[in-house]
Chains A and B, each alone.
Chain A
């Protein structure tokens, strides 16, 4: 008894020290994790905010000469990224229209058939698809859409490559969301003599709706900033284009173009800030929705 309590007492100081040391380490490493996002936002705001104005959203980019003149006079670069914003919105909406139905239905299939070989195969392939480099998806969309369908770079081709990127995320989040709905809710509906497809459409999907929405929003925010596949498909355009068979610009494409033009390099900060704000908004929105359902 005495011996044990002595050992415990002797150890106490060392154990308390270890505990403090470990806590400090955890806090320190957490700070390292959050510091990039803080620094990124700080830098974007610092360098980009002065270019942000209403004109920035509704005007197309200046030509190099205008930008050069403005720079030489020490003025702000005129113009904006309206062609990129409309292009990004158009392509993301189109990609969602393509990816959401396929992704949600596949997710339901996986949920309904756990352990079946075909479902496992589908799930694994979907996971592999998530790992395919985005530039490869761009190449594939080039072969599938740019050459045979639109006979040239097009928003449609960009949407197809983005849709393929979104697909596995939607499939997974649909399956995970449905899995979280208690079995008892499904039983309740089946016990009322509701046919199976109606249980899925009228009970499971509405019950898991916010979960599905969260997954879709995260998928969208993921593809919003994609650049590589768009270079090979949508290409870019200096004007606002709303024809899905024509080359179209996008905010990330504009950032790349501004970067390559020494006179317009200042615009990369404001464009990035704008893109970042869109992605953050979607992320926060999906977090909100997810939290509300808990």
Chain B
């Protein structure tokens, strides 16, 4: 572990010496070791191509969609070793939200929320289904807006509503960690503010890891921040500390807008 990263007691997720390469000898993520705080928002920052998305996707192994991926390292989620867990099982424990809202275009709002159960053929009683849909939509503050239109297509919603629907879809599984890959980069400022408020509220019950391009956003809503550069974890600290007195010169230069 590098001297600019802090230790976390009882982490929700512990990443040990994680390296990801897309090509032999070329690392997108290089030997990253970090512990993630439970019930907090952790932001991953860094310039384009620094490996922040790859790091996030390595957690639920979505990065394996690309060709020729090689991954080393260890992942412990809530005490369970998830390094070699089948992705089908792992991804139900780690919900993911993407840059662009991606509700399933053929499904209603209701079906989108329980899509994970539906697509996996998990049968639930109607009442349980209704409960999950209502709880998830309430969690993302979308319930009041859509409760009368639950059976309309999810794609009729505005971009911001769609993104909250996608968060609800990830919450329906009651995941142990939520991974967000620049969740507001395709949204307007008003919708962004709502999603940010939502994330702050959600951390009471969930642990959130979020990649963001936007330093101000990290400063606004994250409790802990990582700064990555060229695949390496340069610095990891409480957001407050990192933004006020960064330990590494590169972090300082990035935060003050000298590059990135």
Contact = CB atoms under 8 A, between A and B. Distances in A.
Interface of A: 182, 184-185, 187-195, 198-199, 202-203, 206-207, 209
B190 interface: no
A207 B105 CA distance: 7
A198 B120 contact: yes
A191 B95 contact: yes
A188 B104 CA distance: 8
Most buried by B among A184, A188, A189: A188
Contact of B169 (A184, A192, A198, A209): A192
A194 B116 contact: yes
Given A193-B120, A193-B173, 12 more contacts: A184-B100, A185-B102, A185-B105, A187-B102, A188-B102, A188-B103, A191-B95, A191-B98, A192-B91, A194-B88, A198-B119, A203-B106
Nearest to A206: B106
A196 B27 CA distance: 27
Contacts of A199: 119
B119 A192 contact: yes
Contact of A192 (B105, B116, B121): B116
Contact of A187 (B90, B98, B103, B105): B98
B30 interface: no
Interface string B105-122: 110000000011011110
B102 A207 contact: no
Most buried by A among B90, B98, B104: B104
B98 A189 contact: no
B82 to A, nearest CB: 12
A39 B49 CA distance: 59
5 contacts: A184-B98, A190-B91, A192-B92, A193-B173, A207-B106
A195 B116 CA distance: 11
Contact of A188 (B87, B90, B106, B166): B166
Contacts of A182: 102
Given A182-B102, A185-B102, A193 B62 contact: no
Contacts of B100: 184
B92 A190 contact: no
B105 A191 contact: no
A290 B199 CA distance: 39
A189 B121 CA distance: 13
B96 interface: yes
Contacts of B60: 191
Nearest to A184: B102
A202 B122 CA distance: 14
Contacts of A184: 98-100, 102
B89 interface: yes
Interface string B168-184: 01100100000000000
Nearest to A193: B91
Contacts of A195: 88, 120
Closest 5 pairs (CB-CB, A-B): A193-B91, A191-B96, A192-B116, A184-B102, A193-B92
Contacts of B95: 191-192
Interface in B21-79: 60, 62, 65
Interface in B151-194: 166, 169-170, 173
A192 B105 CA distance: 16
B173 A192 contact: yes
B65 A187 contact: yes
A214 to B, nearest CB: 16
B160 to A, nearest CB: 17
Contact of B89 (A188, A189, A193, A202): A193
Contacts of B170: 191-192
B109 to A, nearest CB: 15
A187 B104 CA distance: 11
Given A185-B105, A187-B98, A207-B106, A192 B62 contact: no
A192 B120 contact: yes
A98 B120 CA distance: 30
Contact of B116 (A185, A187, A193): A193
Contacts of B87: 190, 193
B153 to A, nearest CB: 12
A209 B96 CA distance: 26
A252 B103 CA distance: 47
A193 B89 CA distance: 6
Most buried by B among A190, A198, A207, A209: A190
A206 B106 CA distance: 7
Nearest to B118: A202
Contact of A203 (B90, B96, B98, B119): B119
B19 to A, nearest CB: 22
Contact of A189 (B90, B92, B99, B119): B119
Contacts of B103: 188
A207 B91 contact: no
A182 B99 CA distance: 13
Nearest to B92: A193
B119 A202 contact: yes
Contacts of A209: 106
Contacts of B99: 184
